[in-house]
Structure 1
Amino acid sequence: MTAFPRKPALLLALVVLTDLATGPACAQSTVAEGEKLAFDRGKGNCLTCHVIKGGDLPGTIGPELKDLKARYPDRNDLVAILTDETKRNPQTMMPPFGRNRILTEREINAIVDFLQTL
């Protein structure tokens, strides 16, 4: 009966090791997903208002999206902007993607992962 308590510990160790092994690959896939969403004219639609390196036919209503990791070292600031910028700036033209359920929390986080690479 002493072997039974070890099974959950072994399972936990396997989960942690699997998570460590897939971490960078998972991060790369969320960056790629975020880029796809940001450039998607029907979903994130960031190019309607922003210049983004690699994007076609950008708008100029919003600021150019570059050096965002330096400008927003706390990724939560970018999450908040995408979720509902009207909380910080009621006069903003930025759509409240999270509040209006245009983007899911997972999609917002993927876009932020991508934006932090710019």
Structure 2
Amino acid sequence: MTAFPCKLAVLVALVLSAGAAVAPARAQSAVADGQKLAFDRGKGNCLTCHVIKGGDLPGTIGPELRDLKTKYPDRSELTAIIFDETKRNPQTMMPPFGRNRILTEQEISAIVDFLQTL
């Protein structure tokens, strides 16, 4: 009767460790997706206005995007800026990517994942 709990514990440990191994891969994928969107001239288009390390032909209208995890440790603030910066700064030139449905919430989240690595 004691063998069953031991087998169950081993099974649970295996499932949890498999899930833990998948999580970093998903996070890496989200960062890569976010970079692709940020550099995509037709979608996120962040390089039109911002200097971003690794990007070609950056603009200078907006601030350089670096050290954002330090500047915005709570990702919800950075997400809100991308979703609709006009709420915080009505005079901004930044498009409201979420409000205008230029980017989905999932795409904005991926971009935030990427920006927090800079």
Q: TM-score normalised to the size of structure 1?
A: 0.85
Structure 2: gaps of 5 or more residues: 1-10
Matched residues, number:
107
What is the alpha-carbon distance in structure 2 between the residues aligned to residue 31 and residue 80 of structure 1? 18
What is the alpha-carbon distance in structure 2 between the residues aligned to residue 109 and residue 17 of structure 1? 25
SS at match of 1:24: helix
Counterpart of 2:22 in structure 1 is 22
- Alpha-carbon displacement from aligned partner over 1:14-47 (angstroms, at most 9, x marks no partner): 4x55432210000000000000000000000000
1:35 counterpart letter in structure 2: Q
1:1-20 → structure 2 map (5 Å cutoff): 14=15, 18-20=18-20
- Alpha-carbon displacement from aligned partner over 1:52-80 (angstroms, at most 9, x marks no partner): 00000000000000000000010001100
Root-mean-square deviation over aligned CA pairs: 1.5
- Alpha-carbon displacement from aligned partner over 1:74-115 (angstroms, at most 9, x marks no partner): 000110000001111111111000000000000000000000
Counterpart of 2:67 in structure 1 is 67
What is the alpha-carbon distance in structure 2 between the residues aligned to residue 91 and residue 77 of structure 1? 18
2:80 counterpart letter in structure 1: A
2:49 counterpart letter in structure 1: C
Percent of pairs with identical residues: 78
Q: Determine whether 1:77 maps to 2:77.
A: yes
Counterpart of 1:49 in structure 2 is 49
Q: Determine whether 1:33 maps to 2:33.
A: yes
Moved over 4 A (4+): none
Structure 1: gaps of 5 or more residues: 1-9
Q: 1:104 to 1:18 in 2, by over 3 A?
A: farther
